[in-house]
Amino acid sequence: MKHELTCIVCPRGCLIQLVKDEEHYICTGNQCKRGEVYAIQEVTEPRRMFTTTVQIVGSKLSRCPVVSSSAIRKEDIFKIRDILDGLVIHAPIQVNDIIVENILGTGIHIIASRSIKKDA
Amino acid sequence: MYDIIIIGSGIIGSMLAYDLSRFNVSVCVLEKNVEIMNEVSSSNSGLVHVGYDPEDGTLKAQLNLIGAKRYPQIAKDLNVDYKQVGSLLVSNSMDEHEALLKYAQRATQRKIDVKYIQQDEIRRMEPNISDSVLEALFFPTTAIITPWQMGFACMNFAVLNGVKLFRQTKVIGIDKNEYYTVHTTQGVFESKCVINCTGLNGVDVAKYHDPNSKHQLEFRKGEYQVSDIRDESYLNHVIYPMPSKLGKGVLALKTIEGNLMFGPTSYVIDNRYDFSTTVNGLNEVDSKISQIIKPLAKNRMIRQFAGVRPGSVTKDFIIENKDGFINVIGIDSPGLASAPGISEYVIESFLKKDFELESKMNLVDFKWKKHLSSNERNELIKDDSRYGRIVCVCETISEKEIMNAIHLPVGARSIKGVKRITRPGSGRCQGGFCESEVVRILARELNVDMKDIPYDNDVFLTPLGGHDETR
Amino acid sequence: MRHVKCVVIGGGSAGLAAAIQLKKYNIDCLLLEKEDVLGGILNQCIHNGFGLTRFKEELTGPSYAERLVSEFHDLGIEFELDSTVIKLNSDKSIEYINPKGVHKIQAESIVLALGARERTRGNIMIPGDRSVGVWTAGSAQKYLNIDGYCVGKRVFILGSGDIGLIMARRMTIAKAKVVGVAEIMPYSNGLTRNLVQCLYDYDIPLYLSTTITRINGNGRVQSIELSRVDENLKPLSGTEFNIEVDTVLLSVGLIPDNIITENAGIEMDPRTKGPKINQYYETSIPGIFACGNGLHIHDVVDFVSEEGDMVAKSVERYLNQLGKSDLSIPVNSDSNFIYVLPQTIDKSQAVKLKFRVKRPLKNVKLVIRTKDEIIMTLPKTQLLPAELEMITLPLPLIDKIQDEVRLEIIA
């Protein structure tokens, strides 16, 4: 099975070729090891950092921006989005507060990406 | 049961409501849009022409003069903007010399101030006039207004003094028995007399009353370009080219706020609601304007728009009384300038015959709130700090001014309404920064959710977590 | 009238950095911010990718802003919110409005950190109906991320720079259908990462060498007409096709927002749309400095804040009346460049030149010359318009400069 993809780890954007050889991958075209790691991850289990906003009450602001503590599986994006769409959180919030712990049992948390004061 | 139903709240309906509210008659106004002054009346040049242009013997000639004469007092009473900037009617060719003199004579006959001016003086008066202009007539009393400001002020006065305004109320049929029954999307209204001033729909509504009506409208689109307000001093007066069969031509004009506007073009369209701008139309504005002025750089233009005029094929206003059903239709140029004249004409010639028009006592005054100077603002902030919270940076408009616009007797109920009354969205960022804040304030003041605020006539926001369109 | 040593106009990523650095130089400044919060546009940029250089981690926009804002507050710097500057005068007096009144203050020095606004439909003159449903990408982003509302259901985006790409993803996550993205150039200006994560991930088609030639819809947008363009970016007759959408988002460029700058009579550069500066970030009025998106449009916020840092240093220099050179050597460039900053230099110290090229260039040489001499040649494998380039001219090379500095690209 052959894959070709552009690495996005750094601005170089190496064009990487990945060939599956029985159990392991042979990676060419990358100029560093990070590229190989990215390429293999991308073809086996693509992952993405996820950001969105969550409804917040008790503050002047109505939305709290959140971010995943690490990259989630690409296939989980919409499921996680749906969970977060249904949430309402309460001010005050501190940046990096865990909004949802261990989302979908992934071990990844959804955390607040800013602090929001309590404000009637 | 009303004495009078006015259908349509453009400048004609608003002016009629203003004048009639001073009498002891019951009046209601039916408007199909969310806001008044929404169509023809807000997409034009904003000019009070002096009145030399219409042919002798026409209603246009007669009523333009009366309208132009009434405006200064109306503007003073309502505290709206009215500025006699004066105009130049310019000619590029000695072939037009006869025609130019004819206009001068007509103006003199009609007692309109006019002065013939030549090359040097033209350029002193107007340094950015085109090099090809040879001679001109100067009309010192040509004035500019902000049409929707005038209309809103008139309607606010009217509503404060007893006129009832029904928005989002579209007329769908009219019966006559001993009185008129007007069927609308919001129910039935009855009156002794109906005034049809429905602009683009003038003939449709006339036909609800008389299916055999022979009136015919020809819809002409006019495209405009608008420049940044910082170019205000580029021109001192309104510049008219020599008129043609198509109309007054592509003008270079100023707005009260300080924008320059170039336009309108004039061509017949089939779809009366086609307010689109086109590449050809805007190119035509470019080429025609360069004949009368030295053109501005392209990157100074911040906006383009088009208006549609509902002109009668008879080339004159249609103002007739058919047994208490009064048609005021085919109001194209000089409709805005003539509006106070048209209102007076309808009242004097028709309504005074059917109604005992007694003046009302104890009229409530209405004064339009204009743009604040720094000193005025500083004083107002002492009473309400929200005059100091600037929401629209481009035009310096505060939260409180937006709130005032919403809470007028005829208040803004949409983004468009706020824009017309106080201007957020009219500046260089075209609402990019302030629009969501305007919606937030509308929702708060009208006690609804942001998703219930219309942009113009329709709502447009979906709260997050709503229906998934990707599936 | 109140006198202030330094007024910083704008509390976003440039202004905050400048104010923080000024405090570290022991200069008390007053920061004026027009919104009711500090942080600027970052507050609505909820995606990540910020801060790699400045904070050595990848942060979201709000997190980056909060880093600056926390430090700002910790240092106890004076600021006023809801404060809109309406007039900047050449004598460095400033008039501003806030809920406490209309104020006039006298500044000894000023930092302009005004940010940028987006190019609108009116600026690029897309013909068609006056339909409701056309927004700039940033405006739609604000509705979404600050207020929690999506402006439409079927979306088309014009412009494939990073803002357009980010919004393609964001609108999809917000459950709108993003039908496509059009880009007038034959290539996208956006980061490859964003092409992958915002378009390819969601199967959103990218139409290169394509633009919107008409917007249709009485009332709401109903459809758009797209056309391919030729090498001069002019629509090609006969290539038109229609797509049904109810929303158009425009991501067609940012413009430094310099009304007060222009009205003060400060000299502007039509190429950057910002004020002309010398290497000290000083404008044509001594003591008035500019940085950030208000000076020229950036791609990386870390470098916006870095400009804020640099400006603070220049303010310190100015207030302490450190030796000023009268030399004003113009920095010129050939037609390969959109712009080069600064527009003038003196020869007293090393200079960091910043520039953007007009078209993507591969395997070229950047040549810096003065009058008759080439003072530096740098081979470049790739230069992109979307990437601000920076190059430092060290003092020994500066010494060689005579009447002008000229940047050129050769094959």
Domain B1-81+145-216+313-368: assigned CATH number: 3.50.50.60
Domain C2-117+255-324 is classified in which CATH homologous superfamily? FAD/NAD(P)-binding domain (3.50.50.60)
* Region C52-77 average pLDDT: 96
Domain boundaries, given as residue ranges, for chain A: 2-44, 51-112
Nearest C-alpha of chain C: how many angstroms from A31? 15
Question: With an 8 Å Cβ cutoff, are B461 and C143 in contact?
Answer: yes
Q: Which of A51, A64, A85, A89 to mutate to test the interface with B (most CBs of B within 10 A)?
A: A85
pLDDT tens by residue, C237-253: 999 999 999 999 999 99
The answer to whether the CB of B313 falls within 8 A of the CB of B216 is yes
Chain C 22-81, residues with CB within 8 Å of chain B CB atoms = 34, 36
pLDDT tens by residue, C329-374: 999 999 999 999 999 999 888 999 999 999 999 999 999 999 889 9
% of chain C with per-residue pLDDT over 90:
90
Q: How far apart are CA C269 and CA C298, in angstroms?
A: 16
pLDDT classification of A11: cutoffs 50, 70, 90: low
* Region C127-141 average pLDDT: 94
Q: Considering the entire predicted model, what is its pTM?
A: 0.92
Arch. (CATH architecture) of B87-140+219-311: 2-Layer Sandwich (3.30)
Question: With an 8 Å Cβ cutoff, are C46 and A51 in contact?
Answer: yes
User: In angstroms, what CA-CA distances link B397 with B374, B400, B414, B440, C76?
Assistant: 12, 8, 17, 15, 31
Question: With an 8 Å Cβ cutoff, are C145 and A115 in contact?
Answer: no
Nearest to B34, CA basis, from B412, B404, B426: B412
Q: Does domain C331-410 have CATH number 3.30.1490?
A: no
Decide if A55 touches B, using CB distance below 8 A.
Answer: yes
Nearest C-alpha of chain A: how many angstroms from B466? 9
Domain boundaries, given as residue ranges, for chain C: 2-117+255-324, 120-252, 331-410
* Region C259-280 average pLDDT: 96
User: In angstroms, what CA-CA distances link B71 with B65, B74, B257?
Assistant: 10, 5, 18
Question: With an 8 Å Cβ cutoff, are B388 and C97 in contact?
Answer: yes
**The pLDDT value given to residue C176:** 96
Decide if A83 touches B, using CB distance below 8 A.
Answer: no
Question: With an 8 Å Cβ cutoff, are A62 and C62 in contact?
Answer: no
Decide if A8 touches C, using CB distance below 8 A.
Answer: yes
Contacts by C223-230, CB closer than 8 A, 24 or more apart: C224/C128, C224/C156, C224/C248, C225/C128, C226/C182, C229/C184
pLDDT tens by residue, B224-278: 998 876 777 899 999 999 988 777 899 999 999 888 999 999 999 999 999 988 8
**The pLDDT value given to residue A14:** 85
Decide if C149 touches B, using CB distance below 8 A.
Answer: yes
Upper half-sphere CA count for residue A104 (Cβ side, 13 Å): 15
- Residues with Cβ within 8 Å of A44's Cβ and at least 6 positions away in sequence, in order, are none
- Two structure tokens written together for B94: 């000695």
Range scoring the smallest mean pLDDT among B69-78, C213-222, C227-236, C317-326: C317-326
* Region C206-216 average pLDDT: 97
Neighboring chain B residues of C144 at a CB cutoff of 8 Å: 464
% of chain A with per-residue pLDDT over 70:
98
Which positions of chain B have pLDDT values less than 70? 229, 466-471
What is chain C's mean pLDDT, rounded? Answer: 95
**The pLDDT value given to residue C257:** 95
- B467 catalytic? Reply is no
Neighboring chain A residues of C47 at a CB cutoff of 8 Å: 51
Chain C 117-136, residues with CB within 8 Å of chain B CB atoms = 117-118, 120-123, 125, 127-130, 132-133, 135-136
ipTM of the complex as predicted: 0.94
Decide if B270 touches C, using CB distance below 8 A.
Answer: no
pLDDT of residue C280 exceeding 80: yes
pLDDT of residue C323 exceeding 80: no
Neighboring chain A residues of C188 at a CB cutoff of 8 Å: none
Nearest to C103, CA basis, from C4, C213, C230: C4
Neighboring chain C residues of A11 at a CB cutoff of 8 Å: 191, 387
List the single residue in A51, A55, A81 with the smallest CB-CB distance to C47: A51
Nearest C-alpha of chain A: how many angstroms from C50? 12
**The pLDDT value given to residue A109:** 98
**The pLDDT value given to residue C191:** 86
User: Which of these is catalytic: B49, B183, B215, B407?
Assistant: B49
Domain C120-252: assigned CATH number: 3.50.50.60
Q: How far apart are CA B428 and CA C266, in angstroms?
A: 19
Domain A51-112: assigned CATH number: 3.10.530.10
Neighbours of chain B (3+ CB pairs under 8 A): A, C
Which chain B residue has the Cα nearest residue C81?
Answer: B389
Neighboring chain A residues of B464 at a CB cutoff of 8 Å: 53, 55, 63, 85
- Two structure tokens written together for A60: 């002047």
Nearest C-alpha of chain B: how many angstroms from C168? 12
